Chain A
Amino acid sequence: GDSVTQMEGPVTLSEEAFLTINCTYTATGYPSLFWYVQYPGEGLQLLLKATKADDKGSNKGFEATYRKETTSFHLEKGSVQVSDSAVYFCALSPNFGNEKLTFGTGTRLTIIP
C-alpha cells in the first residue's frame, strides 16, 4: 500500500537557520503530495501541496518540490523563525478520494532564538 516516510525528529534549529525536513513516499500511480503543519494546541493546517511531478508548492516561505525520480517531497525554508515551531506532516493522496489520504509520522521542529 501507499506509505510516507519522514525524517525522525525532534529537530532543533537556531533562528534564521536553513531548514530541510525530508519526506519520501511509496505509491502506485501519480499521487498528490502535501505538507500539513500542526502548531501547539491546534489542529493540522494545509501548508502547501503539489499535484504532479516537478511541481513546487510554496507558502509562508516554505517550499517543496515533487521529485518523481527520487520519490521525494522535502520541505525547505531558507530562514526559520521562532513562530515556525510546530509539528510538520508529509502526506499523499492517490487522488481517488480522501479515505486514502496517508500521513507520515510527523516531525517536531523547535526554533530557538
Chain B
Amino acid sequence: DGGITQSPKYLFRKEGQNVTLSCEQNLNHDAMYWYRQDPGQGLRLIYYSQIVNDFQKGDIAEGYSVSREKKESFPLTVTSAQKNPTAFYLCASSKDWTNEKLFFGSGTQLSVL
C-alpha cells in the first residue's frame, strides 16, 4: 500500500540535543511538507520541498533544518536552537506543490526531558 510513514511515534529530547524526525513516502510525490501542531492552534508550516534537492522555509523555520536528497525522504532536524520543541509534528506530501490534496503521516510527538 502506498503511503507516508513517520518515525518514531514518540521522541524525547534532552537540553542542547539535536533530534531528527523521519518521513518517508512511496507515493512518488514531488512535494513534501513539515507541519507543527500545538494544542489550540492550527497546523503551522515549518519547511516544504517542491522537488528533490530543493526546500524552502515555511512560517516557523527557526530552530529547524531539513534535507531532500531523495524524492521519497524528507527528514526534519529539531536543533538545540528551537527553544520550545514540544509539539506534534506532521509530515505530508502531495503530487506536486500546486495539488491541494495532501497526504499526511501519523505524526511524531516530541517532548523535552
User: What residues make up the interface of A, taking CB atoms closer than 8 Å to B?
Assistant: 4, 32, 34, 36, 38, 41-46, 49, 89, 93, 95, 97-99, 101-106
Contact = CB atoms under 8 A, between A and B. Distances in A.
B48 A45 contact: no
Interface string B82-113: 00000000101010011111111111000000
10 contacts: A36-B102, A43-B107, A44-B102, A44-B104, A97-B97, A98-B102, A99-B97, A103-B42, A103-B43, A105-B42
**Band of interface residues on B:** 20 to 34
Q: Which of B48, B98, B102 lies at the interface centre, i.e. has the most chain A CB atoms within 10 A of its CB?
A: B102
Contacts of A36: 102
Closest 8 CB pairs of A and B: A43-B104, A103-B42, A103-B43, A44-B104, A43-B105, A43-B106, A105-B42, A93-B100
Contacts of A45: 104
Most chain A CB atoms below 10 A, which of B41, B99, B104: B104
Contact of A98 (B6, B90, B97): B97
B78 to A, nearest CB: 19
A106 B90 contact: no
A85 B6 CA distance: 23
A4 B42 contact: yes
Interface string B45-68: 100100000001010000000000
Contacts of A103: 42-43
Contacts of B31: 98
A93 B99 CA distance: 10
A105 B44 CA distance: 10
A105 B76 CA distance: 23
Contacts of A98: 31, 33, 48, 94, 97-100, 102
Contact of B106 (A41, A93, A102): A41
Contacts of B99: 98
